[in-house]
Structure 1
């Protein structure tokens, strides 16, 4: 049985079906021609892939959590994030509600602490 993890969206079969159009669109960004077409006219590109209202709104707003909730798979969404020049730290910051600088500082703090295993 899957136990929910607070603050996460489980990407299961239902989410995969829900996000099919969004993930298919993001997969298309493997091709530079498609990335350029999206950058030229995002709305037309989203219509071509038949994104639903929630998916399109999340893409417009670059709302990572909204895209995940709308069925987006993080591996495909990373392809979208690269078009405007976002990186993994931008995405992590968005998911945690921090600024990018706050997120980077948190990563540095975590990496500075020695790993400790329970006794």
Structure 2
């Protein structure tokens, strides 16, 4: 499953790795937690058992790194929605293209599978 370029499958191992990260993200469903988060992000993160890499990625809003560190995109959506970003805006940053280009690509049927099948098979 790790062989597909640009794809991170949320496995049981990733779920264990990202448990506290995802719990932090889900905490932002409560208005009082969002206010505490907005007031001092670093201080709010100290209440969660995140690794230094997870904390740095959260503060940098590096969603690709967060996925690699066990984050689940649906839980992480609580972070970017707290920032006022739509799902489209957030995931476009993960692809390195503009919101407009990402939207056009998705409306045209998504990313081409050509060259995206397997790293080891070079297809």
Instruction: Give yes or no for TM over 0.5.
Output: yes
CA contact (8 A) 2:2 2:9 kept: no
Tell me the alpha carbon deviations over residues 72-107 of structure 1, each in whole angstroms, 9 at most, x when there is no partner.
011100111111101111122122111222212323
Match of 1:47 in 2: 46
Deviations 1:23-46 (A, max 9, x none): 010111111100111111100111
Q: Which has the higher contact order (CA 8 A, sep 6+)?
A: 2
Q: Distance in 1 between matches of 2:43 and 2:56?
A: 14
Matches within 5 A, 1:1-119: 2=1, 4-110=3-109
- Equivalent residue of 2:46, what SS? helix
Deviations 1:14-72 (A, max 9, x none): 11111111101011111110011111110011110121111111111111101101100
Using the size of structure 2 for normalisation, the TM-score is: 0.81
The list of structure 1 runs, each at least 4 consecutive aligned residues, that deviate by more than 6 angstroms after superposition, is none
RMSD: 1.7
Higher helix share: 1
Number of matched pairs:
110
Give the TM-score, by structure 1 length: 0.83
